[in-house]
Structure 1
Amino acid sequence: MLLKKTLTTTALLGSLLAASSVFAHAHLKSETPAADSTVAAPTDLRLVFSEGVEASFTKVSLTKDGAAVAVKSLTTEGADKKTLIVTPAAPLAAGDYKVEWHAVSVDTHKSEGAYSFKVGQ
């Protein structure tokens, strides 16, 4: 009986630790321009994460119709560092864009993802 309780307790603690590590990553909550939207050319992109990110260790690549688009800077907004601002090096022309991000949260956990949007004529 004691062995069964010990195994159950160990399994419970292990699942709690695994669950807490899942929540420790910066997940993309919203983005501007929104995924799958058609917009006028934005001056910057804003990615809002579930927790703060370190801009100096985070990478964002932007492509237009498959070709790389230069990004001038990545900065965070606010004391919580949850909003990452991506500034393209030049105004965005009409076309289909893909944003791929590899974020490092303030607690050093890594996450990644991608989304697309379109700049209209």
Structure 2
Amino acid sequence: MSAAFLKKILNTAALLTLMAGASAAFAHAHLEQSTPAADSTVSNVKELRLAFTEGVEQAFTKVVLTHDQAPVAVSSIKTEPANKKILIVTPAQPLPAGTYNVKWNAVSVDTHKSTGDYSFTVSN
């Protein structure tokens, strides 16, 4: 193997490594999992747990919970102390039966913004 060919392989490997690192550095916090899960039917909801792919900034992350297009009062929205990827949303009152929509706007710890929404149903 010639030195020029080996140098070309090493340069290509270095470039691919840099590109992979750059894509991770510019990633956004996407919703990875939620409880209650999207499109699920549950019987009792005390809190919503939104798990993101990256840590989120609690102060700049918003969640709006609606029932029949009317806002539902929320007593707190905070990140889990040991895991900034988990956002805990606590409704002010128990949720009556019906369909709920969750709309979120997250700001990840690297300041990138992302948005999304999902629905779930509470049964009697």
Q: Report the Cα distance in structure 2 between the residues aligned to 1:31 and 1:62, rounded to whole angstroms.
A: 13
Partner of 1:100: 103
Q: Report the Cα distance in structure 2 between the residues aligned to 1:119 and 1:22, rounded to whole angstroms.
A: 38
Shift of 1:85: 0.1
Does 2:71 align with 1:68? yes
Q: CA RMSD in A?
A: 2.4
Q: Report the Cα distance in structure 1 between the residues aligned to 2:69 and 2:99, rounded to whole angstroms.
A: 8
Identity rate of aligned residues, in percent? 66
Partner of 2:5: none
Which of 30, 39, 45 aligns to 2:48? It is 45
Partner of 2:3: none
Partner of 1:120: 123
Flag structure 1 segments of 5+ consecutive residues without an equivalent: 1-8
The one-letter amino acid paired with 1:61 is V
Normalised by the length of structure 1, the TM-score is 0.81
Which of 87, 92, 99 aligns to 1:84? It is 87
Does 2:36 align with 1:33? yes
The one-letter amino acid paired with 2:114 is S
Shift of 1:89: 1.1
Larger Rg belongs to: 2
Normalised by the length of structure 2, the TM-score is 0.79
Q: Report the Cα distance in structure 2 between the residues aligned to 1:75 and 1:25, rounded to whole angstroms.
A: 19
Q: Report the Cα distance in structure 2 between the residues aligned to 1:80 and 1:38, rounded to whole angstroms.
A: 26
Q: Report the Cα distance in structure 2 between the residues aligned to 1:23 and 1:116, rounded to whole angstroms.
A: 28
Shift of 1:41: 2.3
Shift of 1:23: 5.2
3-state SS of 2:103 partner? strand
Does 2:26 align with 1:20? no
Flag structure 2 segments of 5+ consecutive residues without an equivalent: 1-11
Does 2:114 align with 1:111? yes
Runs of 4+ displaced beyond 2 Å: none
